[in-house]
Amino acid sequence: MTPDKSETDFFDRLQGLTEAYLTRRNRIRRLKKEKQRGKNPVLDWAEAFLWAAGMVLLINQYLVQAYQIPSGSMIDTLEIGDRVFVNKIVYGPELLPGVLKLSSPVRPKRNDIIIFENPSYISRGPAFDIAQRIIYMLTLSLVDIDRDEAGEPKAHFLIKRAVGMAGDRFTMERGEMRLRFAGEDRWTDEREYAASRGWKHNISRLMEEGQYPALEAAGQAAAWADLGLPIPERLRNAATAAGGIRFPDYLAHERMRLETLRGAAPHDRRYAALLARHRLGWYVPEGRVLPLGDNRDNSRDGRYFGPVREAKVLGKGAVIYWPARRIGPIL
C-alpha cells in the first residue's frame, strides 16, 4: 500500500527536525572545544577552583562540615586532633556563616554530641567571622586564621555532649553530677542514669577523690584572704598542696569559698545568692540545652557559662574521619 501524502509530509518534517537538532548540537560542541582551546590556562584553573570552592562551601554550610578537635575535653569519646564531620542540616543550617539559622523540626536530644558557638567567644566583627569560617570550611579545618596572641586557635566553636534539657536541674558534688528531670521531685545520679539507658560513653575524671580535702581547704583560704584576715597555717599548707593538682575541680573550690564567706557574713545577700546555685542546683530554661564535656575535670562547659540557646547549636557530631585508626561513628 502506497503511503498517503500526509504521512510523507510528517516523516519529512521529522527528518528535518532531527537533522537540525543534530547539526545544532554538533555546532555547540565544536564551539565549546574551540573556546576551551583558546582559554587562558590560568583562567581555566581559576574557574575550576572557584567552582570546586563553591561546592565545598555549599556542602559545608548546609550539609556536612569538617572540624578538628582542639582539646581533651571530650576524652575518651573524642581525642585531641581527631577530625570529625558534623551534620549541619539536622538542627537547621545557617543561611550564611553566623547569620540567621533556619528552623528545624529536630531539636537536640539528651546525649547528642553537639557543636555550638562558644558563649565566651569575643567576636572581631561579622566580616572577620564570615572570612574565617569560609577559609576554615574551604580547607576542611586545616587553616584557622582566628588565633590569640600566642598563635593558638581561639575556641569559636565548642563540641560537647547534650546532658541537660529544658526543665532540668543539676547539682555537682565533688565532681559528680545529679539531675532532677523536668516534672520529677527526686534527684538521679548521672552515672546511674547513663547505665540504665545503655549509653557506652565514659565520664572521665582526672581529679582523685583524695585530693578534695586539700582543694576545699584552699577554697577556705581564699575566703579568708577575701575577708582580709590572716590565713591559718593549716589552710596555707593545704592551698600550697592544692596548687599541685593539675586538673582541679574549680566548682568544688568555689563552693567551699562561698560556704566560708557565707558563714562569716550571713547578712551579705551576694554570698547567699551565689551559694544557692551550688546548694539548690542550676536550672535549664526552655529553649536551651546544657552541654558538658565527657572529660569533666578538663572541660570549660555549661557548668561555667550556663545552658546555651538551641539557636546557637550548629550541628550534630556524625563521624570521625581521621586518623585512620579512629574512623567510625561518634557515640
Domain ranges of the chain: 57-204+284-329, 210-274
- Determine the pLDDT at residue 5: 58
Distance separating the N- and C-terminal Cα atoms of the chain: 76
C-alpha cell at 183: 516534672
- Determine the pLDDT at residue 133: 77
From first to last of the 331 residues of the chain, give the pLDDT tens digit.
555 556 566 666 766 677 777 778 777 777 776 666 656 677 777 777 778 777 877 888 889 988 889 899 999 999 999 999 999 999 998 887 777 788 899 999 999 999 998 988 888 887 887 788 778 877 777 788 888 888 888 888 899 999 999 999 999 999 999 999 998 989 999 999 999 999 989 999 999 999 999 999 999 999 999 999 999 999 999 889 998 999 999 999 999 999 999 999 999 999 999 999 899 899 999 999 999 999 999 999 999 999 999 999 999 999 999 999 999 999 8
Residue 201 makes CB contacts below 8 A (sequence gap 6+) with 76, 77, 111, 161, 194, 294, 331
- Domain 57-204+284-329 classified CATH 3.20.20.70? no
Nearest to 202 by CA among 114, 300, 75: 75
- Determine the pLDDT at residue 126: 76
Give every strand in the sheet of 169-173, ordered side by side. Answer: 188-189, 176-180, 169-173, 282-283
- Determine the pLDDT at residue 17: 74
Characterize 293-308 residue by residue with b for buried, 16 or more Cβ atoms within 10 angstroms of its Cβ, and e for exposed. bbbbbbbbbbbeeebb
- Determine the pLDDT at residue 123: 80
- Determine the pLDDT at residue 155: 84
